[in-house]
Chains A and B, each alone.
Chain A
Amino acid sequence: MTEPVITFERVTKRYGKKLALDGLDVAIPAGRIVGILGPNGCGKSSLFRAAAGLIRPDEGNVRVFGREPGWQTNRDIAYLPDRARWYPNLTVAQTFDWGQTFLPGFDREDAERLAAAMEIDPDMKIGGMSRGQEARALLILCIARDVPVVMLDEPFAGIDVVSREAIIAGLIEHLEDRSQTMLISTHDIREVEGLFDYTVMMDRGRAIWTGDTERLRAEYGSLHDVFRLLYRKEWKR
C-alpha cells in the first residue's frame, strides 16, 4: 500500500468550550474518492481547514505528504471551502484568467470543457448567477487543477437539483483517467454514494468508521442506510 496523502493523529481542536475535533485519527489513502460523511457540526469542515493549514490543532498532528500543512503543502491541494463565494463583478472567463495567474496547476482547457459540460456561460458575471450556478463555477475553478489532492467541503449543500446533477456529472467526467485523491464532504449522500470508493464516517469530532466503501456495503448495506442508522439520534433532536 502507498503512503497516505493526509494523516490525522489524535487531533483535537477547541473553539472556546466547543470541541470541533476530539482526538481525530484518520489516514486518507492516495488516488481514492473519499466521502467525508456525517451530520452538520460533526467536524468535517474543521478536518478540511486543518489539512489546509487554516487552523492549528490544539493537540495531535496533521500531515500532508508527511509535512506540516501550510502554504508549501497548499500548492498540492485544491480546496473549495463550505459556502464559498466569489467576486460578483468578474465573469466566468475573467475568473479563469485569475485562476491561470494565481492557481498552481490550473488547466484552462479543462476548465472550459467542464464549463461547457456543466452549462456555465463563460461571459456571465458571477454577480448575476443563481446560488447553484455560482457553486458550479467555483467547483470548476477548484477541480480544473492538475494537483494531487482536491478537497470539496459540502459542494452540494443549498443548491438546486439541476446544479446538483450537473456537479455530479462534472465530477464523474473529471474523475476518468485521473489519479487524483479527492475528499468530498456531505451531510446528504443521496445520489452521490456511488462516487465514493473510500468512506470516513464522522461523529462529534471523531472518525467512527473508516474504510473501503465496498467493504462497508458488504458488511452493513447502503451508505444511506448506514447513515440513517448511525445518526438517527442526531436527526431526532
Chain B
Amino acid sequence: MTEQKVGPLRFRIDFSQPLYEQILDQVRSAIAKGEIGLGEKMPSVRELAQELRMNPNTVMRAYMELERDGLTEKRRGQGTYVTASADRVRSFRAQLAERYIDSFLAQMESLGLNWEDVEAYVRRKRGAGEGGESL
C-alpha cells in the first residue's frame, strides 16, 4: 500500500477494504485537518479515478456523499470545491469526533469497562506517550 498524491490530497488505498469508504474517509479527514484548504478546488472525478486506477463510479459516489456532508460543493462547469465555510468544516469535525468517540466507547463497553476505567487507561496512555511509564 503506497501513498499517492493527487493535487493537495494524499491517499493510501488498501485494495482489501471497500474502496468507496476509503476515499470518503481520507478526503473527509484531509478537509477536517485543513490539508486541502477552504474554497480550494478538488481534483476532478476523472483525475482521481485515473491516479488511483479506480472505477469513476466509485469516486463519483464518494464525491456525492461529500456534497451531502456539506464539505464540498459543485460549481456548474467548473468542478468541485471545498466549502468556503469554516463553520461547516468545524461542525463536521465535531460530528466526526463524536462518532469516533461513540464507537470507541462502545468497544470499551464491550470489554466490560466503565467510564472510570476508560479515563484511567487514557490518562496512563497519555502519560506513557509523554515519556512516563508504559502500560
A interface, CB within 8 angstroms of B: 33, 168-169, 172-173, 175-176, 191-197, 214, 217-218, 221-225
Contact = CB atoms under 8 A, between A and B. Distances in A.
Contact of A175 (B14, B16, B20, B55): B55
A196 B55 contact: yes
B19 interface: yes
Nearest to A224: B15
Given A194-B52, A214-B20, A222 B57 contact: no
A11 B1 CA distance: 40
Overall SS of chain A's interface? helix
Contact of A169 (B14, B17, B45, B50): B50
A225 B57 contact: no
B56 interface: yes
B16 A197 contact: no
B20 A195 contact: no
Contacts of B15: 193-194, 217, 222-224
A176 B53 CA distance: 13
Contact of B56 (A168, A172, A192, A224): A172
B34 interface: no
Contacts of A193: 15
Interface of B: 13-20, 45-46, 49-50, 52-58
Nearest to B57: A197
A217 B16 contact: yes
Nearest to A196: B55
Given A172-B50, A173-B50, A218 B56 contact: no
Nearest to A215: B18
Given A173-B46, A176-B46, A214 B19 contact: yes
Contact of A176 (B14, B17, B18, B49): B49
Given A172-B54, A222-B15, 18 more contacts: A169-B50, A172-B53, A172-B55, A172-B56, A175-B55, A175-B57, A176-B45, A191-B53, A194-B13, A195-B54, A197-B55, A197-B58, A217-B18, A218-B18, A222-B14, A223-B15, A224-B15, A225-B16
Given A195-B55, A197-B58, A172 B49 contact: yes
